[in-house]
Amino acid sequence: MKAVRIYGQEDVRVEDVAIADPKPNQVQIKVKDCGICGSDLHAYSAAWGLPTQPHPLTGKTVPITLGHEFSGEVVKVGSAVTDFKVGDGIAVEPLIACGKCANCRSGNYNFCDKVVAEDGAGNFLGFSDDGGMAEYANIDDVFAHHLPEGLDYELGAICEPTSVSFEGIKRSGLRVGQNVAVLGAGPIGLTTAILARIAGAPRVYISDVSDVRLDKARELGFTDVLNPTKEDVNAIIRKDCPDGVDVSFECGGVQATFDTALQVTRRNGTVQLVALSKPLNVNFTDDVIMQGFTITTTLAYENCFDTVLGIIAANQDQFKPLVTKKLGLDDAIEGIKALATDKSQVKVMIDPEL
């Protein structure tokens, strides 16, 4: 089968590889859609997250098949699988976890103790084990999730990045009626904003330096859309929310979006870090402690895929515009590189049938 394999920095190849039969606890899927993610670009441009020595759980080293935001149709079922049959549509939760350590057993398998690799390789399919940019993939049954009735494969693949945002909202403790600022309007910022609106935030401010991205936010129905290179985001927010917003979501991963998050949040409010950021400068005493901020963090997600699939299924018109382009496997490398330059794309999907 055809697969998009990463060997290291700026070395991605579309190759013909064999796929084994699924293990007893696995299903084999024909991949239908697989989103390209900013972290795929990091892997491509800086070999980020890739195992250079055998991964502690998967035993794999590069080359690895990329892709962690995917959905597909079950074509083979392992002998011990009871919940899936050939023809079922599934979304893949692409985490790798041992299932046995204290974090796994307490439900926090996104912090599995056994996947802390010395080389920084992570606990995701598409980085530390073969992922979804291929014609077929084998998936552990515990990480396969039935697509709800009426939800297509594209939106099934959107479940993964949306789950990142869902986990951020959950960990922020956002409650209905609280106002929100989302700093950074990439795919994670936009899904965070959509979920905050669904969760009952009366005002959802979205800030980004790219007008193209802000146009997308407008297309999604957001009106409080701000460009910090052209206007004073803090002043505008405080016109309607004099104390600041209750919860800010840092989805940009840079100093400027972090600083803005601190500025626009009300005293005793919450600053939720959703993006992985570069090292940040922060004066904790003046800018955090004296403000009474709660700073919360999030990494991947746990036990939420079925909930998120349900949310997407019930609000399809809000999520559908996020898919902006579809490419075949042969064009995956161009698609990954384009993430760095083409801000008009929100979610580019690889469709192996194209």
Nearer to Zn ion, 37 or 43 (CB): 37
Nearer to Zn ion, 268 or 297 (CB): 297
Nearer to Zn ion, 37 or 350 (CB): 37
- Binding flag, residue 146, Zn ion (CB under 5 A): no
Token pair for residue 321?
Answer: 């515009």
Q: At 61, which helix (H) or strand (E)?
A: none
Q: Is the distance from CB of 274 to CB of 248 less than 8 angstroms?
A: no
List of E strands, 36-143: 64-65, 69-77, 89-92, 136-140
The residue of the chain with the least Cβ separation from Zn ion equals 37
Q: Give least dist CB 298 to Zn ion, A.
A: 13
The one segment of 8-16, 37-45, 117-125, 208-216 that binds Zn ion by CB under 5 A? 37-45
x/- mask, Zn ion, residues 88-107, rule CB under 5 A, reads: ---------xx--x--x---
Residue 142 — φ and ψ, nearest 5°?
Answer: -70, -15
Degrees (nearest 5) of the Cα angle 162, 165, 167? Answer: 110
x/- mask, Zn ion, residues 106-135, rule CB under 5 A, reads: ------x-x---------------------
What is the pairing mode between strands 2-8 and 64-65?
antiparallel
Nearer to Zn ion, 107 or 150 (CB): 107
Nearer to Zn ion, 36 or 201 (CB): 36
Q: Give least dist CB 64 to Zn ion, A.
A: 15
Q: Give least dist CB 152 to Zn ion, A.
A: 19
Degrees (nearest 5) of the Cα angle 50, 53, 56? Answer: 90
Sheet order of strands, 11-16 included: 11-16, 2-8, 64-65
Positions touching Zn ion (CB under 5 A) are 37, 97-98, 101, 104, 112, 114
